[in-house]
Amino acid sequence: MKFRDVVIPDSGEQFSVPQGIQRIDHLSTHGWQLRYCGETKLFSDLPAEEGGSAEALSRATAELLRRIARLPAPSGLQREPNASKTSDLPVGISGPLVRSRAGSKTRYCCLLVSIPRFGDKPRRASIYIGSENTYTEDRFRQALAKAVVMREKAELAYQRAATLAKRAEGRALKEELATA
């Protein structure tokens, strides 16, 4: 899990803060804001005799660990097509592309599918539609359906892998905090 050092301006206290927790110091609001999976929660600083900023950060970290354990990891996968995309194809699918094989004069059409892989570069898969002579709208629809299923399976695998990795990070942080 990524950490960053945060210094509270008024007190000069320094903290190592896990990713997903932000410091809020604005007018009368002072505390730690947890941001995870689109949900936010503010943990206000407590009075000094009750632990102050350190106790508030401890509570925010405990809630972060609870959320990591029960919610899927936030994924960086794009869910909507770019505004500049000129086709009606779903995210991660492009085409149809016209290509030719080396040493052949016959051209063929295919769709390209971006296969996301957690912790690795995405892979590209090509779904054959047909040659110039065999291309039909029906074959295009069949290839598109196959491409959509392929992309959905890859997104699910990516999400599972991201969640497993995030939960492993959460367990490691929990163990580290328990021994500290």
Percentage above 90 pLDDT, the chain = 61
- H or E element that contains 98: strand 93-100
Q: At what angle do helices 52-70 and 137-179 cross, to 10 degrees?
A: 140
Q: What is the rounded distance in angstroms from the CA atom of residue 27 to the CA atom of residue 10?
A: 12
- State the average pLDDT for the chain: 90
pLDDT of 180 strictly over 80: no
Query: What is the pLDDT, as a whole number, of residue 149?
Result: 97
pTM summary value: 0.80
Q: What does the pLDDT look like over 50-83, one tens digit per residue?
A: 888 999 999 999 999 999 999 998 877 877 878 8
> In sequence order, what are the residues at sequence separation of 6 or more whose Cβ sits closer than 8 angstroms to the Cβ of residue 177?
61
Q: What is the pLDDT of residues 105-118, one digit of tens each?
A: 889 999 999 999 99
